[in-house]
Amino acid sequence: MEPGEVTIGEYIIQKLYAHGLRHAFGIPGDYVLAFYKQLYESKIKMINTCDEQAAGYAANAYARVRGLGAVCITYGVGGLKVVNTTAQAYAEESPVVVISGAPGIREQRGNPLLHHKVINFDTQLKVFEQLTVAQTVLDNPGTACREINRVLAAAICYRRPVYIELPRDMVSVKIIPVEETLQLPDVDKGPFKEAVSEAAEMINQANQPVLVAGVELLRYGVQNAFKKLVEKTNLPVTSTILGKSAFGERDPHYIGLYEGGISKEQVRQYVEGSDCVILLGVLLTDLDLGIFTANLDQGKSIHSTSEKTSIRFHTFNAVYLNGFLQGLLKADIHRRPDPEIPHAASPGVFQPLPNAKITIQRLFERLETFFDEGTFVIADTGDALFASADISIPKATEFMSSAYYATLGFAVPASIGIQLALPHLRPLVLVGDGAFQMTGMELSTAARYHLNPIVIVLNNSGYGTERPMLDGGFNDVSSWQYARLPELFGAGKGFEVHTEEDFEKALAAAADYREGFCILDVHLDQYDFSPVLKRMTEALGKKVK
């Protein structure tokens, strides 16, 4: 190559690395093999999973804590398998770069029936246009650099997934890099100043203001600024289920999780009795609002997101979360004396009851005392998530779930992405047996890359979330011997749990064993539900029947 030249594939890798990416996830296929080889020989470590969907989940989790993730797959059979994970990334604001190989430009001439093709060669692109904020097909060397820069900038600016399609005969085409700096949107300081002034006046005049921490604090990396705002104002804090752990849940300012009508009563009364509810980075989803049982008065609310800010009924379309939060830190907001607020209960000493069958409530009571600052908790959809609402995470930013898109099977592959992104933390996965059967084989991937998550399978013989809504044999799943999976994989340790004493011994053994993964098969009664799930499904059941 001439001095300064790189190939299109190498340029993609260089830009991903420059933006902090150190791992990518996927499965090779013939249309992407040439790019895979370039990745394999680069500074970015390629992680092969058992299935493309799991690669998408792992990249999603990685992106949430590192700021950017990538999944690399082949055309058609690979690309269309990550449609669900890309939809999750879009819904829950996760900047994942989907890189799909494709038939070569010359191969596509005459529209032949090549393998993996569906209708036309642009069918896959049209699908991803509905699920990403930016897309490109790198079919022109003259524009390739600018297109790569444009798409990656969109992922970083908007914290949502993007799509890059790379025809295989373009991977090694030489180009001259075009370096461009990330251009952030222009900010009109007039509306910002007005919004901050109006918000500060409303907060100062309020008798019982409360801060609500939302998921966008995590996605945009401004949770430390939020913490400074709490320290400055001394205001009490709650959070939503999707934003859980955006603020430390054992901090004295934290009053507990707010979920509308399914919240703990003291939290619901305090938040809904507030004359100034300050929602920062909160997405107003049905799960965050307790299946829309929340009773929040917009006339008493300040709501700022990455898209706009509303103060009472006054909307500022060009005032965004990050700038608004920085403005509040500089504003003249009075520091309050220590308020009289409800506090989340501190974890007590857990004593297993002799010969007592384990229940979901007692299991989570024990976990409350098991977590420490070296644990990253990942809850799959179902009672694994809903029961987690009532436990406190010791340190901020160490809990993850799919609490809006609510896709089953996220947690096990997510643990791979989390531990590679944050190797100083050990993932603890909470997953139902139904969700585990979708992606649990990724424990073999964890073993392959020497990771050591602790996986707790809530084994209640089926889809427990749905039974209280509408039950039937369609909610049952096949019975697996989960604790014997280490025998299959030749790695890890498994534990059968029937009683509280079994659970105590298994947790202690899992904590001591750090050479590989641990899986705890926790046998629960088919109709054993957490208090939160009972309240949640009662609301959902009214919509189903």
Q: Which amino acid is at 380?
A: D
Percentage of the chain modeled with pLDDT above 90:
83
Confidence band of 409 (pLDDT split at 50, 70, 90):
very high
pLDDT surpassing 60 at residue 1: no
- Structure-model confidence comparison of residues 289 and 543, the more confident one: 289
pLDDT digits (tens, 9 = 90+) for 429-440: 999 999 999 999
Give the integer Cα–Cα distance in Å for 430 and 426.
13
* 101 strand-pairing partners: 166
Average confidence (pLDDT) over 380-404 = 90
Average confidence (pLDDT) over 467-487 = 93
| Residues forming CATH 3.40.50.1220 domain(s) in the chain | 189-330
Identify the pLDDT of residue 384.
94
Second-level CATH architecture of 360-544: 3-Layer(aba) Sandwich (3.40)
Identify the pLDDT of residue 324.
95
> H-type helices in 239-395, by residue range?
265-272, 321-330, 360-370, 383-386
Identify the pLDDT of residue 184.
57
CATH of 189-330, picked from 3.40.50.1220, 3.40.1350.10, 3.40.50.2300, 3.30.565.10, is 3.40.50.1220
Identify the pLDDT of residue 350.
87
262-288 burial, b if ≥16 CB within 10 A, otherwise e?
A: bbbeebbebbbebebbbbbbbbebbbb
Q: Which amino acid is at 413?
A: P
Identify the pLDDT of residue 296.
94
Token pair in block for residue 120: 């036309």
Identify the pLDDT of residue 391.
87
pLDDT surpassing 80 at residue 541: no
Average confidence (pLDDT) over 380-392 = 91
Identify the pLDDT of residue 188.
57
pLDDT surpassing 70 at residue 176: yes
pLDDT surpassing 60 at residue 187: no
Confidence band of 143 (pLDDT split at 50, 70, 90):
very high
Average confidence (pLDDT) over 80-101 = 98
CB within 8 Å of 272: residues ≥ 6 apart: 294, 295, 296
pLDDT surpassing 70 at residue 540: no
Neighbour-count burial of 512, counting CB atoms closer than 10 A to its CB (0-12 exposed, 13-18 middle, 19+ buried): exposed
pLDDT surpassing 80 at residue 294: yes
- Structure-model confidence comparison of residues 181 and 9, the more confident one: 9
Confidence band of 381 (pLDDT split at 50, 70, 90):
very high
Full-model pTM: 0.94
In CATH, 6-175 is 3.40.50.970 = yes
pLDDT surpassing 90 at residue 168: yes
pLDDT surpassing 80 at residue 538: no
pLDDT digits (tens, 9 = 90+) for 242-259: 999 999 998 999 999 999
pLDDT surpassing 70 at residue 345: no
pLDDT digits (tens, 9 = 90+) for 123-137: 999 999 999 999 999
| Residues forming CATH 3.40.50.970 domain(s) in the chain | 6-175, 360-544
Confidence band of 213 (pLDDT split at 50, 70, 90):
very high
Average confidence (pLDDT) over 486-490 = 97
pLDDT surpassing 70 at residue 34: yes
Q: Give the range among 351-360, 456-465, 534-543 with minimum mean pLDDT.
A: 534-543
Identify the pLDDT of residue 392.
87
pLDDT surpassing 80 at residue 331: yes
Identify the pLDDT of residue 185.
55
- Structure-model confidence comparison of residues 65 and 349, the more confident one: 65
pLDDT surpassing 70 at residue 545: no
First to last CA, the chain: 66
Identify the pLDDT of residue 29.
95
DSSP 294-320: ----GGGEEEE-SS-EEETTEEETT--
Total number of residues shown for the chain: 545
Average pLDDT score, the chain: 93
Average confidence (pLDDT) over 401-416 = 96
- Residue (of 516, 541, 507) closest to 449 by Cα position: 516
pLDDT surpassing 60 at residue 528: yes
Mapped onto helix, strand or coil, the DSSP state of residue 497 is strand
